[in-house]
Amino acid sequence: MATLTKQQIGSVLAKQGILIAFVIFMIAFTIANPKFLTMDNVFSVVRSSAILGVMALGVTFVVISGNLDLSVGSMMSFSTIVVLDLHDKIGPFMAIPAMFAMTLCLGAFIGFLVGYLRLNSLIVTLGMLSAIHGLTLTYSGGQNMDIADKEGTWFSVFGQGTALGIPVPILIFIALAALLGLTLAKTPFGRKVYAVGGNGTAATFSGIPRARTVFFCYLISAACVATAGLIQASRSLGSQNTVGQGLELEVLAAVILGGASLLGGSGTVFKTVIGVLILGFIQNGLLLMGLQFYIQFVVTWVIIILAVWLDIAAKRGKLWSAIA
Amino acid sequence: MTDAKPVLHLDNIVKTFPGVRALDDVSFSVMPGEVHALMGENGAGKSTLMKVLGGIYQPDGGAIYMGDERVVMAGPLEAKAKGIVFIHQELSLAEELSVAENIYLGELPRKSFGRVDWGLLTEKTNAILKKLNVGFDARTRVGDLSIANQQMVEIARALTVDAKAVIFDEPTASLTDAEKVVLFDVISDLKADGVGIIYISHRMEEIFKITDRISILRDGQYQGTVNTSDTTEESLTQMMIGRKLDLSRNASHHELGDVALEVRGLSCGKLYSDVSFQVRRGEVVGFYGLVGAGRTEIAETLFGLRDAHSGQILLDGEEVRINSPADAIQRGISLVPEDRKGQGLVLGMNCRDNMTLPQVDDLTAGPFVAEGAEVAIFDQYRDRLDIRTPGWKQQVGNLSGGNQQKIVIGKWLSMHPSVLIVDEPTRGIDVGSKSEIHKLLRELAAQGYAVMVISSEMPEVLHVSDRIVAMYSGRIMRTFTSEEVTEDSLIQAISGLGGDKAA
């Protein structure tokens, strides 16, 4: 029997570590609580992951293009508050496109700063996280937003409805994942996203419009955030100003868990979906084990660190190295 | 020298990488007080050998001796501790720190409570700088120094340890003539102190001026060591490339077509000024000059990456404005850039996707990329250029330099350009691919392409060009036909000496 060297074990761990960890988690959870792997529970995990998932789809484009988007959490709060407010003012039929237009404007602004002005995306979107939060609070005057007639609006369909027995949020998630998955994997635009993230200079030298490509990635991200805001608003029909707070990190964790490199140029929509589910199952498992809800913030952080570490380790084929 | 022990002896060093035998039984030794040149083409194994010596790579076979003692270089620090010091081509200094801090980085003299002893530090540093006879002092910020002076800081750093052997890797690459004189003085001082010196350079002139012996590597194999005084440039070249250098001139025998590209009075600040030339269909025009002569910048302007401040660009007799690479591509200009990995390829992408990248918008079936058409294009150029890869799915980063360059060339040929600009087409690639690429450039001209070749290698320029434009400091000094050009006149023209200015 061949003995594995320390280095080989390290290399396997680095490449498959997150899957191994996930399987161990799943087994441990199932033993701890047999309810974990029931259909009901699986369904509930997917449904509660849909909002995070929709946002992660958009951020996948941004990350593959070699950038970050930390503004999606507060942007989602913005979308939710805006659509709820406009619902009573101009009716849901007009409120939805109006909210999408406003959210896309925010995305276009970020895309302009990062794509055309070539500003560092971390700084820009970290700033926007705070700026959009301020914008939301200004808009709402700091008040929670509620729909007056919660029983009589068709608006609740996006968050609470079902079609063919499947909750609408899951259907939206699946449809959007299919659409964006095809866009990324099969269209010329998708190819350009990989090229720009893989080597922006070489993409430029091949006539690829780098700035425009990055710009559209942020626009896609904003469209996904608007969709997530719509689901959120429709599900609760009322909201605080901070409903999306902290989601930016969870979204990023899901994208990285799926295997997209923070350096850009790699990752797929399908892998991001897996990442979203892993995160959802782990959080759900912790709850079923009877741990406090608040512990999941700590666990999410641990998972992010683990994922980033493994991402880098996979690149250099070692868990630790002094150079490169 | 015969009775002395070598300061450093490499004995049958072997180093393999997956698929490559980078060093195959290489032996050579450096005597005390000797300047020993290490020569070989790019990819011959010089860098690998130096990395073995510096403890960055561990050899798979063979041994290193210092004096009588067998040593193992476990890492860079150990190599340094044993007195082996590298002066790298690319400087590794912290620009924001002072000269003294850089020299003693990691070994700053201390007072009580870990405080740095600035007085002692400055004193020690100035003592070394005085020995080197340089015009700056210990407190100067390194970022404010010229490249040559930064190199002096590296050398000063070398002198703080008891150096047994100092390795200079292309030290004169970015130095002016006056700065070279200072460097050679330092080298002769080291020599007088009995230090062994390994000098890596491509520049024959320097090799003959300062070295005592020369060892040659080719494709990872040791070709022999010769006394500098007993050899000639020609025989060295032959040892390096394994055959007589094909210096044949290749003026076109076919009829030249119309002028495809004309540039009139093009200027761009300090980078280049008043540049005018023509390239006809069926013609290869070589652009020769030193690094920084403005050749790459002109290519970037023609490709829409850099704006010219004044002047005209004419394609097929018609004045055009080229605002972006997409513009240039659409007008039939292609650029094979100088930095293959940084500018030419997305290394993490597969071969096919790299090759079709500029035309991905046009290769569509409905909203999707027509992958079948892409594979067809890849297959066509793989066959035509003899690209060796297991298949189109292979990541470009895994290919050899020569095959990578062929992917870049294939990428642009598949766009059917009328003007093809190639910048340093054979930098860092093996001899075989090199001559294939030269042949290809000639063939393309014969097929009616207008080809601009920018190169810093004289044999290459002489070999492929119908005409040669010699540039110096942003200006065209002279244009030669392939019949009239001589090496001497070319060197004069690119050094800014003589050569009547005519375009």
Q: Which helix (H) or strand (E) holds B421?
A: strand B419-423
Average pLDDT over residues A287-311: 78
B339, B353, B360, B409, best to mutate vs chain A, most A CBs in 10 Å = B360
Distance to chain B for A221, nearest Cα, Å: 20
Q: pLDDT confidence of B245, banded at 50, 70, 90?
A: low
Residue B249's pLDDT is 64
pLDDT of residue A321: 67
Dihedrals φ, ψ of B11, to 5°? -120, 110
Phi, psi of B7 (to 5 degrees): -70, -30
Are A202 and B328 inside 8 Å of each other by CB? no
Q: How far off is chain A from B86, nearest CA to CA, in Å?
A: 18
Residue B431 lies in a domain: yes
* Per-residue pLDDT, B502: 43
Residue B3, in any domain of the structure? no
Cα–Cα dist B199/B171, whole Å: 8
Mean of pLDDT over chain B: 87
Tokens encoding A128:
């926007």
Domain identity same for B251 and B107: no
Among B203, B217, B233, which residue's Cα sits nearest to residue B46?
Answer: B217
Helix or strand run (H / E) with residue A142: none
Of residues A186, A188, A194, nearest to B349 (C-beta): A194
pLDDT for B375: 96
Residue A32 has pLDDT above 90, yes or no: no
Residues of B with CB under 8 A from a CB of A: 303, 305, 324-326, 328-329, 335, 337, 342-349, 353, 357-358, 360-361, 363-364, 367-369, 411
Would you say residue B460 has pLDDT above 70? yes
Q: What is the pLDDT of residue A6?
A: 60
- Separation between Cα atoms, residue B45 and residue B18, nearest integer Å: 15
pLDDT in tens, A127-156: 999 999 999 999 999 889 988 888 888 999
Q: Residue B10: exposed, middle, or buried by beta-carbon count in 10 A (0-12, 13-18, 19+)?
A: buried
Model confidence at A182, pLDDT cuts 50, 70, 90, reads very high
Inter-chain touch A191–B328, beta carbons under 8 Å: no
* Predicted local confidence at residue B436, as pLDDT: 85
Q: Report the SS3 class of residue B9.
A: strand
A206/B337 Cβ within 8 A = no
Q: How far apart are CA B190 and CA B166, in angstroms?
A: 9
> pLDDT digits over A234-260, tens only?
999 989 999 999 899 889 989 988 878
* Domain contains A124: yes
What tokens does B40 get? 């070989």
The yes-or-no verdict on residue A322 having pLDDT over 80 is no
Q: B350 or A41, which is more confident?
A: B350
pLDDT at position B317: 92
> What is the per-residue pLDDT for B171?
82
In this prediction, residue B296 carries a pLDDT of 92
Yes or no, beta carbons of A191 and B347 under 8 Å apart = no
- B50 within 8 A of B200, measured Cβ to Cβ: yes
Same domain, B71 and B19: yes
| pLDDT tens digits, B248-279 | 666 666 778 899 999 999 999 889 999 999 99
B363 contacts in A (CB within 8 Å)? Answer: 188
Q: Which helix (H) or strand (E) holds A145?
A: strand A145-146
| Mean pLDDT value of segment B36-44 | 80
Whether the predicted pLDDT of A166 surpasses 90: no
Among B135, B137, B129, B180, CA closest to B155: B129
Tell me the mean pLDDT in the region A165-170: 90
Cβ(A221)–Cβ(A70) below 8 Å: no
B409 and B357 in a common domain: yes
Q: How confident is the model at residue A8 (pLDDT cuts 50, 70, 90)?
A: low
Whether residue A122 is predicted with pLDDT greater than 90 in this model: the reply is yes
CA B61 to chain centre: 29
DSSP bridge partners of B28: B10
- Residues of chain A above pLDDT 70, percent: 90
Considering the domain architecture, whether residues B59 and B182 belong to the same structural domain is answered as yes
- Cβ–Cβ under 8 Å, residues A19 and A181: no
* Ramachandran quadrant class, A47 (left: phi over 0; alpha: psi -120 to 50; beta: rest): alpha
- Asked if residue A59 belongs to a domain, the reply is yes
Shortest CB distance from A203 goes to which of B346, B361, B411?
B346
Residue at B429 is within a domain:
yes
Does A277 map to a domain? no
Which residues of chain A have a CB within 8 Å of the CB of B324?
Answer: 207, 209
Predicted pLDDT at B499:
44
Stretch among A43-52, B83-92, B311-320 having the lowest mean pLDDT? B83-92
Residues in chain A whose beta carbon is closer than 8 A to a beta carbon of chain B? Answer: 182, 186-188, 191-192, 194-195, 198-199, 201-209, 265-266
Final residue of a domain: which of B241, B260, B290? B241
Could you report the per-residue pLDDT of B43-99, keeping only the tens digit for each? Answer: 678 888 888 888 888 888 899 999 888 988 888 888 888 889 888 766 678 888 999
* Structure-model confidence comparison of residues B293 and A307, the more confident one: B293
Asked if B278 contacts B262 with a C-beta cutoff of 8 angstroms, the reply is: yes
A188 φ, ψ (degrees, to nearest 5) = -55, -35
Task: Look up residue A5 and give its two tokens.
Answer: 């060297």
**Does residue B263 form part of some domain?**
yes
Q: How many residues does chain A have?
A: 324
β-strand B284-289 against B450-455: which pairing, if any?
parallel
Do B115 and B33 lie in a common domain? Answer: yes
**Judging by beta carbons within 10 Å of its beta carbon (0-12, 13-18, 19+), is residue B234 exposed, middle or buried?**
exposed
Residues B409 and B422 in one domain: no
Domain limit, last residue, from B241, B276, B300:
B241
Containing structural domain, residue A185: 35-246
The backbone torsions φ and ψ at residue B199, rounded to the nearest 5 degrees and listed phi first, read: -120, 110
Neighbouring C-alpha atoms within 13 Å toward the C-beta of B348: 20
pLDDT tens for each residue of B147-159: 778 888 888 887 7
* ipTM reported for the complex, 2 dp: 0.85
Backbone angles phi, psi at A169, to 5 degrees: -55, -40
Look at A206 and B411 and tell me if their CB atoms are within 8 Å. yes
Percent of chain B at pLDDT exceeding 70: 93
The secondary structure element, H or E, covering residue A117 is none
| Region of poorest pLDDT, from A106-115, B139-148, B470-479, B489-498 | B489-498
Tens digit of pLDDT for each residue in A203-214?
999 999 999 999
B400 shares its domain with B462? no
Mean pLDDT, chain A, rounded, equals 88
Q: Do B141 and B149 form a contact (C-beta atoms < 8 A)?
A: no
Is pLDDT of A226 > 50? Answer: yes
Burial A235-257 (b: 16+ CB within 10 A, else e): bbbebbbebbeebbebbbbbbbb
Q: Which residues of A touch B349 (CB under 8 A)?
A: 194-195, 198, 265
Q: Which domain holds residue B292?
A: 246-332+418-503
Asked if B421 contacts B402 with a C-beta cutoff of 8 angstroms, the reply is: no
Best residue in B77, B302, B331, B349 to probe A by mutation, most A CBs within 10 Å? B349
Considering only CA atoms, which of B364, B375, B453 is closest in space to residue B414?
B375
Same domain as B104, residue B180? yes
Q: Which of A204, A205, A268 to mutate to test the interface with B (most CBs of B within 10 A)?
A: A205
Query: Residue B168 in contact with residue B199, Cβ under 8 Å?
Result: yes
For the four alpha carbons of B205, B210, B216 and B219, in that order, the dihedral sign comes to: negative
Q: Produce one character per residue of A65-78: b if its CB has 16 or more CB atoms within 10 Å, e if not.
A: bbbbbbbbbbbbbb
Asked if pLDDT for residue B470 goes beyond 60, the answer is yes
For residue A14, pLDDT beyond 70 = no
SS (H, E, C) B276-341: EEEEECCCEEEEEECCCCCHHHHHHHHCCCCCCCEEEEEECCEEECCCCHHHHHHCCEEEECCCHH
Most confident region among A300-304, A317-321, B71-75, B312-316 by mean pLDDT: B312-316
pLDDT above 50 for B501: no
Q: Give the closest of A192, A265, A266 to B360, CB-based.
A: A192
Beta-carbon separation of A209 and B326 below 8 A: yes
Q: Residue A160 corresponds to which tokens in the numbers above?
A: 């609470």
* Residue A13 domain-assigned (yes or no): no
For B158-206, write each residue's pLDDT tens digit: 778 888 899 998 887 767 777 788 888 889 988 998 899 999 887 778 8
The yes-or-no verdict on residue B116 having pLDDT over 70 is yes
Tokens of A92: 């849901």
Q: Do A204 and B358 touch (CB under 8 A)?
A: no
- Alpha-carbon gap, residue A107 to A69, rounded angstroms: 10
- Calpha distance A292→B406 (Å, rounded): 59
- The pLDDT of residue A18 is 62
| B378 to chain A, closest Cα gap in Å | 16
Tell the burial category of B485 from Cβ atoms under 10 Å away from its Cβ (0-12, 13-18, 19+).
Answer: buried
pLDDT tens for each residue of B4-33: 788 899 899 998 876 667 888 888 889 999
Alpha-carbon distance B391 to nearest alpha carbon in chain A (angstroms): 19
For residues A20-49, give the mean pLDDT: 81
Confidence of residue B220 (pLDDT cuts 50, 70, 90): confident
CATH number of the structural domain spanning residue B96: 3.40.50.300
pLDDT at B90: 65
Lowest mean pLDDT among B216-225, B322-331, B416-425: B216-225
B429 and B492 part of one domain: yes
B57, B302, B341, B346: best to mutate for the A interface, most A CBs within 10 A: B346
| Structure letter (DSSP) for residue A232 | H
Percent of chain B past pLDDT 90, that is, above it, reads: 42
For the record, the structure tokens of B186 come out as 């330092």
How do residues B326-366 score in pLDDT, each as one tens digit?
999 999 999 999 889 899 999 999 999 999 999 999 999 99
Which chain A residue's Cα is nearest to B305?
A: A205
Instruction: Reply yes or no on whether the pLDDT at B503 is more than 50.
Output: no
Is the residue at B338 inside a domain?
no
Least CB–CB distance from A202: residue in B303, B305, B346: B346
The CA–CA distances, whole Å, from B81 to A164, A235, A256, B178, B182 equal 74, 68, 42, 33, 27
Contact present, B313 and A192 (Cβ < 8 Å): no
- Classified as helix, coil or strand, B44 is coil
Angle in degrees, CA B375, B407, A267, rounded to 5: 65
CA B64 to each of CA A202, B20, B78, B158, B471: distance values in angstroms, whole numbers, following the listed order:
41, 22, 13, 21, 45
Q: Give, rounded to a whole angstrom, the gap between the first and last alpha carbons of chain A.
A: 34
Q: Could you give the number of structural domains in chain A?
A: 1
The token pair at B219 is 């494709």
The residue behind tokens 């599900």 is: A235
Structural domains of chain B, count: 3
Evaluated on CA atoms B137, B143, B146, B147, the torsion sign reads positive
For the ranges A103-107, A238-242, B127-131, the lowest mean pLDDT is seen at B127-131
Nearest to B415 by CA among A100, A83, A215, A207: A207
CA–CA separation, A61 and A107 (whole Å) = 13
Same domain, B288 and B391: no
DSSP SS3 for B192: helix
Instruction: Please report the pLDDT score of residue A151 as a whole number.
Output: 83
Contacts of A209 in chain B (CB under 8 A): 324, 326
B257 phi/psi in degrees, rounded to 5: -90, -160
Q: How far apart are the first and last CA of chain B?
A: 53
B450-455 vs B419-423, strand pairing mode: parallel
Instruction: Let me know if residue B275 belongs to a domain.
Output: yes
B1 part of a folded domain: no
Regarding whether B286 and B361 lie in a shared domain, the answer is: no
DSSP-derived 3-state class of residue A163? strand
Same structural domain for residues B50 and B79? yes
CA distance B223 to B235: 12
Task: Using an 8 Å CB-CB cutoff, list chain A residues near B364.
Answer: 188
Give the alpha-carbon dihedral of B92, B95, B96, B99, to 10 degrees.
80
Distance from CA of A11 to the nearest CA of B (A): 17
Domain termination site, one of B224, B241, B258: B241
